[in-house]
């Protein structure tokens, strides 16, 4: 039975920051997980512009009832620089999606890849020993790329329109997983897993992130986009007979993990 969410002077506040922020679904669910576990906490969405990030983080450190921050687009990469320590997966991906206060410092982790791949596994697909294509080398994409290889993919082809960002991530990935990552394209042929980690599909009229006319029913297609509930890429993949996971699968898979980190029931190894 769900417990009522209450707010009082003892409430721990956990901002979730992004630009834009209207697409996030986690504040209510994370707050509800906390309430159900008897923890007095509230996750609050905040719209922070990139040019205001540094100043806002300084203010957040001064708020003594802010014990952690959840980070979404486009702040995941720059927030890593504000962490005194970070997990190995955060350092390898070059981004964080959660920061936990430790005294007067932030400790960072990147759980997006964990949630993304757990969501895919929940749909019955295992990437181990199979080739994967990932589009998007931003904060979420970097964490997903790391996790795809950590779970045993035979190779990862990475595509991003920002070639410098793509190559920087490839260098970090090949340091952690020698010879496993290379540059890719939007052509999905030859890959068992086709994964989108860009916001394409969130706005009406967005182009599709991959060449969907080349998809085949033996492929699995995954997306980070949570709104609309069935993103255009997923709709196109389902029309081809592919197994799929929309962004809600990633969100559901990592919700409990994020809540436990925020509550202090699980620690970031950094």
Catalytically annotated residues:
76
Phi, psi of 48 (to 5 degrees): -115, 125
Which residues are registered as beta bridge partners of 150? none
Cα four-point dihedral sign 174, 176, 180, 186: negative
Cβ distance 242 to 223 under 8 Å? no
Cβ distance 219 to 241 under 8 Å? no
Distances (CA, A) of 132 to 51, 52, 152, 154, 173: 35, 36, 10, 8, 14
Using DSSP, state whether 243 is helix, strand or coil: strand
Distances (CA, A) of 161 to 94, 114, 135, 213: 18, 24, 9, 20
Q: Where are the beta strands (DSSP E) in 76-129?
A: 85-86, 98-102, 105-109
Helices and strands in the chain, H and E counts:
9, 12
């Amino acid at each position: 039975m769900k417990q009522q969410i209450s707010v009082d002077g003892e409430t721990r506040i956990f901002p979730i920051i992004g630009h834009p922020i209207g697409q996030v679904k986690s504040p209510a669910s994370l707050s509800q997980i906390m309430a159900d576990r008897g923890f007095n906490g509230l996750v609050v969405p905040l719209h922070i512009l990139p040019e205001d990030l540094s100043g806002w983080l300084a203010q957040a450190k001064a708020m003594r009832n802010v014990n952690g921050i959840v980070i979404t687009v486009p702040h995941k990469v720059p927030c890593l620089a504000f962490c005194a320590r970070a997990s190995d997966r955060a350092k390898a991906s070059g981004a964080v999606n959660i920061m936990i206060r430790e005294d007067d410092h932030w400790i960072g982790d990147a759980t997006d890849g964990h949630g993304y791949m757990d969501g895919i596994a929940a749909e019955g697909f295992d990437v181990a020993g199979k080739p994967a294509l990932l589009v998007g080398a931003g904060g979420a994409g970097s964490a997903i790329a790391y996790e795809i290889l950590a779970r045993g993919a035979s190779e990862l082809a990475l595509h991003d329109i920002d070639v410098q960002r793509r190559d920087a991530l490839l260098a970090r990935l090949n340091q952690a997983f020698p010879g496993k990552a290379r540059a890719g394209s939007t052509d999905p042929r030859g890959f068992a897993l086709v994964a989108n980690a860009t916001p394409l599909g969130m706005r009406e009229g967005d182009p599709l992130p991959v060449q969907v006319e080349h998809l085949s029913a033996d492929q699995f297609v995954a997306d980070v986009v949570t709104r609309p509930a069935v993103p255009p890429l997923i709709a196109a993949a389902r029309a081809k007979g592919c197994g799929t996971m929309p962004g809600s699968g990633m969100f559901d898979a990592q919700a409990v993990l994020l809540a436990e980190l925020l509550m202090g029931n699980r620690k970031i190894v950094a």
